[in-house]
Amino acid sequence: MEHRDISYENQKIVDVEMGKRVQKSFIEYAMSVIVARALPDVRDGLKPVHRRILYAMYQDKLTYDRPFCKSATTVGNVLGRYHPHGDASVYDAMVRLAQPFNMRYPLVEGHGNFGNVDGDGAAAYRYTEARMSRLANEMMTDIDKNVVDFDPNFDNRLEEPQVLPSRFPNLLVNGSVGIAVGIATNVPPHNLGEVIDGTIYFMKHPDATVAELMNYIKGPDFPTYGIICGSSGIYQAYQTGKGRIIVRARAEVDENKRRIVVTEIPYQVNKSMLVESIAELVKDKRVDGITEIRDESGKAGMKIVIEYRRDANGQVILNQLYKYTQLQDTCAVNMIALVNGEPKLLGLRDILRHYIAHQENVIRRRTIFELDRTRARVHILEGLKLALDDIDEVIDTIRKSSSKQD
């Protein structure tokens, strides 16, 4: 077999130290995941994929007052215009925006099977329909008035917004969960009215302490309800950006019927797995006295019934279940968001301060846009007024002209 010379003229071979190259590439990959995938922006509380879904829906006029449209349409548009990744990642993100047990205030309205609290997935995107929710319109207010910066999309054909105007503090209101490389974020959801009251108070009193803000923003408000035990974890999370909040299911012990009825469970706990874990405890004899477990949830709401023996104490059994199952769960708050493209650990005051600064910028840019548009209109009207003041001369000029150009 002959050996051919496969070298090229003027080729330059550079020796690269493998360790440094791997380190550099990994850091670049990590920063890409942190900035362009897994962490929300502090201003609108959205990750890029969610921002692109909402913007594509807005462009297609899929607003809350228009008819629903097949989810496949939106997924295809997002992929083709802004988000060159897998269709599953886009649809999963869109489904999450529509799930009332995941989002405190869903930004997408769904028609069809969008999954449930038992962990069942949504139907395929060819079966479901979706449009923006009424609140999502507030995320888009004035976006056509040059209030935010736009970047070119992946093939430079179109432009997409760097951030949405977001006329309510979405990062606090809907929270966010994300796992990047070496960094994770977990911002719990809050009550819209409380957050807006707190924001207004902070605008009027920029030196307000966390304790003062907590008169308005009392703590997280989970879509699956439940009971938060104690406020020291909340205070610590708001002060430093990190904290542990203990959430318990709402359960009533009915002594007459000898049963425990659970009507609310902690946030992001899978109901069917919770029931299974209780059954496992009974099977392994770690909890004694339970005779039957039934999931009676339906249209009326959530209802898990745990029956116990005549000689057992219902309150003791409930305390054991709090100890050994996710009837009591810890929400580990870790409020990390992107500030000017960099991940930062933020307390409550920091999040509100950045949001207010964003709104000031939006209003300033909207005012400049409207002023420029008004000035352009005034310029035309002034010209028309001059023409009207000398109408006879204008008509005379028109009559003497041989063509439109003259």
Q: State pLDDT tens for residues 83-129.
A: 999 999 999 999 999 999 999 999 999 999 999 999 999 999 999 99
Catalytic residue positions? 127
Nearest residue to 40 via CA among 127, 107, 122: 107
Nearest residue to 158 via CA among 59, 35, 38: 59
Asked whether the beta carbons of 293 and 306 are under 8 A apart, the reply is: yes
DSSP string, 166-214: -SS-HHHHH-EEEE-SS-EEEEPP--HHHHHHHHHHHHH-TT--HHHHT
**Cα separation, 38 vs 31, whole angstroms:** 10
Asked whether residue 336 carries a pLDDT value surpassing 70, the answer given is yes
Which pTM was predicted?
Answer: 0.91
Asked whether residue 260 carries a pLDDT value surpassing 90, the answer given is yes
Give the count of alpha carbons within 13 A of 355, CB side only. 29
Position 1 scores a pLDDT of 63
Give the amino acid at 276: E
Nearest residue to 185 via CA among 331, 330, 86, 51: 331
In the numeric block, which tokens belong to residue 62? 């899929």
Residues 31-86 have pLDDT tens digits of: 999 999 999 999 999 999 999 999 999 999 999 999 999 999 999 999 999 999 99
Listed in sequence order, the residues at least 6 apart from 108 whose beta carbon sits closer than 8 Å to its beta carbon are 53, 54, 57, 94, 97, 98, 130, 131, 132, 133, 136
Residues 238-254 have pLDDT tens digits of: 999 999 999 999 999 99
**Residues in a beta bridge with 295:** 304
Q: How many CB atoms lie within 10 A of CB 49?
A: 22
Residues 270-320 have pLDDT tens digits of: 999 999 999 999 999 999 999 999 999 999 999 999 999 999 999 999 999
